[in-house]
Amino acid sequence: MIGIMQGRLSPMVAGKIQAFPEKHWKAEFFTAQVLGFDLIEWTLDRQNILQNPFLIDHQTILATKDMSGVNVKSLTYDAAMQAPLVLYGKIQNTEVEVLHKVLEACQKLKVQYLVLPLVDQSSIEEDNYGEYVKLFKYIDENLLGEKVRIAIESDFEPKRINQFMKDIGSENIGINYDSGNSASLGYNFEEEMSEYSKFILNIHLKDRKYRGSTVPFGEGDAPLNEQITYFNKYLNECNLIIQGARSRTGDDVGIAQNYLKFITSKVPQ
């Protein structure tokens, strides 16, 4: 199924490329329906997280999903970048408690995957590695309910991701693959899939220049044609979530439609 990151069909919030669209989140479902998207991936910021509809207004979310026919199967937990779960080598219990509330909401809303980005300011350093392994083992044993899994987004090199997954050792915790981030880091797609494709649960599609920022599909260094073909053949149970660059002219709905056409043209109907 093909989805789009929440907020990509709304005006930018405070100039941010990605943020929860508080004023437009319901309307986005119906825009996504018209464009032909199957899914919206919810996004949660740390600011005002406990007031987000995802935690306090389940009835409206469920009704909006039903009316639009656009589902929510995954959530990106951007809060983990804004308030890391491990800081200075110590697990942050307050942030773990917040994550627990979100995982409970995932259960109630039938969201299958919580994407947890460990990149940029939350990137795992050597002094945090052991604590993150310990944390994920704790989450697996104590916080994950039935049918909810965590998909970690990491900037580790391929072999390191493989080892990280083995160290965590959980069938409920896997990987969110981000095509743009891998392109920016210069990783080889064939090596990545060889090392950890079996751990991939969810996929973000975007394009980035090597060591650069996000750009529209086809303008960066991500081998999107090869990737989409591979995902369709070998990882067709994973959802493809568009996280592409914003429109340079402000036509975010138009560029989202172009991204969707780009993907569907390469996926057999």
Is residue 132 pLDDT above 60, yes or no?
A: yes
pLDDT computed for residue 269 by the predictor: 57
Q: Is the dihedral of CA 63, 31, 107, 83 positive or negative?
A: negative
Q: φ, ψ for residue 130 (rounded to 5)? A: -60, -35
**Cβ atoms 75, 85 nearer than 8 A:** no
Arithmetic mean of pLDDT, 33-48? 96
Q: How far apart are CA 19 and CA 161, in angstroms?
A: 27
**pLDDT range class, residue 16, cuts 50, 70, 90:** confident
In this prediction the pTM is 0.95
Cβ-proximal residues to 180 (8 Å cutoff; 6+ apart), any chain: 204, 205, 206, 207, 208, 214, 220, 222, 243
Bigger pLDDT: 123 or 74?
A: 74
Return the structure tokens found at 208. Answer: 């980035």
What is the rounded end-to-end Cα distance, in angstroms, of the chain? 11
Residue 267 has pLDDT above 80, yes or no: no
Is the pLDDT reported for residue 131 higher than 70?
yes
The confidence band for 268, taking pLDDT boundaries of 50, 70 and 90, is: low
- What digits encode the pLDDT tens for the residues 195-248? 999 999 999 999 999 999 999 999 999 999 999 999 999 999 999 999 999 998
pLDDT given for residue 32 in this prediction: 98
State mean pLDDT over 33-45. 97
DSSP codes, the chain: -EEEETTTTSPPBTTBSS---TTTHHHHHHHHHHHT-SEEEEE--STTGGGSHHHH-HHHHHHHHHHH--B--EEE-THHHHS-SEETTEE-HHHHHHHHHHHHHHHHHT--EEEEEE-GGGPPPHHHHHHHHHHHHHHHHHT--TT-EEEEEE---HHHHHHHHHHH--TTEEEEEEHHHHHHHT--HHHHHHHHGGGEEEEEE-EE-TTS-EE-TTSSS--HHHHHHHHHHH-TTSEEEE-PPPPTTS-HHHHHHHHHHHHHTTS--
Q: What domains does the chain contain, in order, with CATH numbers?
A: 2-264 (3.20.20.150)
